[in-house]
C-alpha cells in the first residue's frame, strides 16, 4: 500500500517535473546562446560525463584513459569536483605524490583518490568546484598536454574539445522526465553535444536497440562499454587471489557505490554468491564502527571474508586495523570498449 501511495504521489508531481525539465533546458540554451559564459583552457580538454545520476561508469573510463595516456607517454591531468571529501579548498597534486601513497579520499574525495595512482609521469590532479580556476592553476604548475574533465558533461562553465557521454542502459528511461521520475539528471536532447556515446550495464538486446536508436538520431559513434571482473586482491598487501582459492571460501559483500547491483553481478561472474551483503550510500565515510557491524553480521551469516569495491578500498585502507584488513578482499574491474581501439583511434585523430 505504501509503495502504491508513493508512486501515486510521484506522478501527482508531474507539473513540477515539467518545470524541472524546462529549467534544465533553459540553462543549456543559455550556454548555447552565449548568455552564460564558458571559458577555455590552454590545452585540449576531454570531458567524461553522463546525463543520468551516478553509476554509469565514468570513474573506470577515466582510469582506463589515464592508463592509455601513460602507455602513450602523454603528460595528462585530471580535473574533478572531489565529491565526498572533507576539505573544501582546491587541491593540486602531481603524479609523484600519487606514487608516494598520498591518495587519501578524506582529503581528495573518492574518485580523485582512485585517479591519483594512475596519473602518467608528469601528470597532475586538480580538485575543486571551479574547474576553470583549478585547471588554470594546474597548467601554471605542471607542463601538461591534455586534461580529462571528470563528470564534466553538465559543467558547461568550462569549454571542452571532446565530450564523451556514458549511458547506463539498465536505467534508461523511455519518457523525457528527469529525477525523481527516472534516473535522468539532464535532458536527452543534451546528447547532441556529445562527440561519442558509450553504453554500459545493459543486456545485449537492450543495448543493441538503444545503440541503433542513438546512432540514427545523433549520427555520432555509439559504442558498448564492458566491465569485466579482473579478479580479487587482498586489501592488506595487494596480493592477487588465485581462482582456485575461491572454491572453498565463504564471502560477504559490502559497498558504498551508486549501483550496488552491478557490483553483485560482477561477483556472480566470478562464481561468487555472497552469504551476506550490506550496501552503504554512495560516497559513504567508513568508520571503525561500520567495520565492526559489517564483520559481526557477516560472521553471523557464515562469511569468512568480505569483498569490497576499489572505491571502498581506498577508504578502508586508511582505517582498517590489521586483523580486519586481513579479512578484506578487493574486486578489481577492467573496462573495455567494443569495438576495441575505437576510442583510442578517435583521440589520436583529434589530438595526437
Q: Are strands 91-94 and 240-241 parallel, antiparallel or unpaired?
A: unpaired
Model confidence pTM above 0.85: yes
Q: What pLDDT score does 108 carry? A: 81
Record the cell numbers describing residue 34, joined without a space.
552565449
> pLDDT tens, 135-159?
999 999 999 999 999 999 999 999 9
Record the cell numbers describing residue 68, joined without a space.
592509455
Mean pLDDT score of the chain: 90
DSSP sequence for 37-101? --B--SS-EEEEEESBSS-SSHHHHHHHHHHHHHHHT--EEEEE--TT-S--S-EEEEHHHHHTT
Reply yes or no on whether the pLDDT at 180 is more than 60. yes
How many CB atoms neighbour CB 148 within 10 A? Answer: 25
Asked if residues 141 and 92 have their Cβ atoms less than 8 Å apart, the reply is yes
Task: Give the Cα separation of 82 and 150 in Å (integer).
Answer: 9
> pLDDT tens, 181-229?
789 999 999 999 999 999 998 899 999 999 999 999 999 999 999 988 8
Instruction: Name the β-bridge partners of 241.
Output: 232
- Mean pLDDT within 267-271: 89
Going from the N-terminus, what domains does the chain have, and what CATH number goes with each?
A: 45-220 (3.40.50), 227-335 (3.40.50)
Task: Give the Cα separation of 249 and 271 in Å (integer).
Answer: 12
Task: Give the Cα separation of 63 and 225 in Å (integer).
Answer: 14
Task: Give the Cα separation of 345 and 339 in Å (integer).
Answer: 11
Q: Given pLDDT bands bounded at 50, 70 and 90, which one contains residue 253?
A: very high
Q: What pLDDT score does 12 carry? A: 67
Asked if residues 218 and 194 have their Cβ atoms less than 8 Å apart, the reply is yes
3-state secondary structure of 16: helix
Reply yes or no on whether the pLDDT at 48 is more than 60. yes
Task: Give the Cα separation of 329 and 308 in Å (integer).
Answer: 6
> pLDDT tens, 287-296?
999 999 999 9
Asked if residues 235 and 316 have their Cβ atoms less than 8 Å apart, the reply is yes
Distances (CA, A) of 298 to 85, 275, 324, 328, 337: 28, 8, 12, 12, 35
> 294 φ, ψ to 5°?
-60, -50
270 vs 13 pLDDT, higher one: 270
Reply yes or no on whether the pLDDT at 302 is more than 80. yes
Q: Given pLDDT bands bounded at 50, 70 and 90, which one contains residue 62?
A: very high
Task: Give the Cα separation of 262 and 171 in Å (integer).
Answer: 12
> 125 φ, ψ to 5°?
-120, 130
How many CB atoms neighbour CB 326 within 10 A? Answer: 13
Element (H, E) at 345: helix 342-351
Record the cell numbers describing residue 240, joined without a space.
592477487
Task: Give the Cα separation of 203 and 83 in Å (integer).
Answer: 30
- Over its C-alpha atoms, the chain yields an Rg (Å, rounded) of 21
Reply yes or no on whether the pLDDT at 3 is more than 90. no
Reply yes or no on whether the pLDDT at 38 is more than 80. yes
Overall size of the chain counted in residues:
352
Asked if residues 125 and 111 have their Cβ atoms less than 8 Å apart, the reply is no
Amino acid at each position: 500500500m505504501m509503495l502504491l501511495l508513493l508512486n501515486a504521489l510521484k506522478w501527482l508531481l508531474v507539473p513540477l517535473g515539467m518545470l524541472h525539465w524546462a529549467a534544465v533546458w533553459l540553462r543549456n540554451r543559455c550556454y548555447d546562446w552565449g548568455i552564460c559564459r564558458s571559458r577555455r583552457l590552454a590545452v585540449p580538454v576531454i570531458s567524461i560525463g553522463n546525463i543520468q545520476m551516478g553509476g554509469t561508469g565514468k570513474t573506470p573510463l577515466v582510469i582506463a584513459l589515464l592508463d592509455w595516456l601513460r602507455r602513450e607517454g602523454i603528460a595528462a591531468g585530471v580535473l574533478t569536483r572531489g565529491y565526498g571529501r572533507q576539505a573544501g579548498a582546491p587541491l593540486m597534486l602531481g603524479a609523484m605524490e600519487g606514487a608516494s601513497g598520498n591518495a587519501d579520499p578524506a582529503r581528495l574525495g573518492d574518485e580523485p583518490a582512485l585517479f591519483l595512482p594512475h596519473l602518467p609521469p608528469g601528470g597532475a590532479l586538480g580538485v575543486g568546484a571551479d574547474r576553470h580556476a583549478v585547471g588554470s592553476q594546474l597548467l601554471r604548475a605542471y607542463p601538461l598536454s591534455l586534461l580529462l574533465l571528470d563528470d564534466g558533461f553538465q559543467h558547461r562553465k568550462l569549454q571542452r574539445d571532446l565530450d564523451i557521454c556514458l549511458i547506463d542502459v539498465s536505467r534508461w528511461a523511455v519518457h523525457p522526465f528527469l529525477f525523481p521520475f527516472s534516473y535522468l539528471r539532464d535532458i536527452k536532447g543534451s546528447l547532441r553535444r556529445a562527440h561519442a556515446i558509450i553504453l554500459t550495464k545493459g543486456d545485449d538486446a537492450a543495448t543493441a536497440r538503444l545503440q541503433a536508436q542513438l546512432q540514427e538520431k545523433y549520427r555520432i559513434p555509439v559504442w558498448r562499454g564492458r566491465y569485466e571482473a579482473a579478479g580479487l586482491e587482498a586489501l592488506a598487501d595487494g596480493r592477487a587471489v588465485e581462482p582456485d582459492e575461491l572454491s572453498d571460501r565463504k564471502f560477504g559483500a559490502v559497498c558504498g557505490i551508486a549501483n550496488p547491483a552491478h557490483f553483485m553481478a560482477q561477483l556472480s561472474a566470478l562464481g561468487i554468491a555472497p552469504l551476506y551483503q550490506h550496501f552503504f550510500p554512495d560516497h559513504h565515510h567508513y568508520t571503525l564502527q561500520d567495520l565492526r557491524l559489517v564483520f559481526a553480521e557477516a560472521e553471523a551469516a557464515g562469511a569468512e571474508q568480505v569483498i569490497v569495491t576499489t572505491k571502498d578500498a581506498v577508504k578502508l585502507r586508511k582505517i582498517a586495523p590489521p586483523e580486519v584488513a586481513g579479512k578484506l578482499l578487493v574486486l578489481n574491474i577492467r573496462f573495455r570498449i567494443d569495438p576495441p581501439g575505437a576510442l583510442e583511434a578517435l583521440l589520436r585523430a583529434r589530438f595526437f
